[in-house]
Amino acid sequence: MLSIEEVARHFRLRPDTVRRKIRAREIDAVRIGRVYRLAWPDVWACEDGPMPKRALTARYQDDLLTKKDIAAALSVSVRTVERWIEDGMPTRNVFRVVRCNPHDVSDWLKRRGIDLPAEWWR
């Protein structure tokens, strides 16, 4: 079970935003005493993307990236990242905010002949 802070870090959102989404019932959470806990399937259900297959769950537990994160890590402009998204780079929209799984980005860029160092996003 994940804390609100862990979910916020995964989504690249503020903890207050996650709390607000829990209160609005946009994300399922279990309240234990005064603390909310969330399960990975409930977290993934908030992402506009396919539910991870069992063999890929660890891959989708990595924190998501913003367009700005990707641009900074790869030394390109945010507009370049936006063009990649327009060209089909996979996204996982969270509450109408664009986020990307780093593994999906790596796979997509490698298929286009762009070599990346291992775990370039860390």
Alpha carbon separation from 85 to 30, 73, 88, 94 (Å, rounded): 34, 16, 5, 15
* Cβ pair 44, 51 in contact under 8 A: yes
- Number of C-beta neighbours around residue 1 at 10 A: 13
pLDDT in tens, 6-52: 999 999 999 999 999 999 999 999 999 999 999 999 999 988 877 88
The per-residue pLDDT for 60 is 92
State whether the Cα torsion 5-7-10-16 is positive or negative. Answer: negative
The answer to whether residues 28 and 42 touch, using CB atoms and an 8 Å cutoff, is: yes
Give phi and psi for 53, each to the nearest 5.
Answer: -70, 155
Cα–Cα distance, 45 to 68 (Å, whole number): 24
- Predicted confidence band at 117 (pLDDT cuts at 50, 70, 90)? confident
Average pLDDT, the chain: 92
Report the pLDDT value the prediction gives residue 68, as an integer from 0 to 100.
96
Does residue 38 contact residue 7 with C-beta atoms inside 8 Å?
yes
List, by residue range, all CATH 1.10.10.10 domains of the chain: 49-122
The CATH number of the structural domain formed by 49-122 is 1.10.10.10
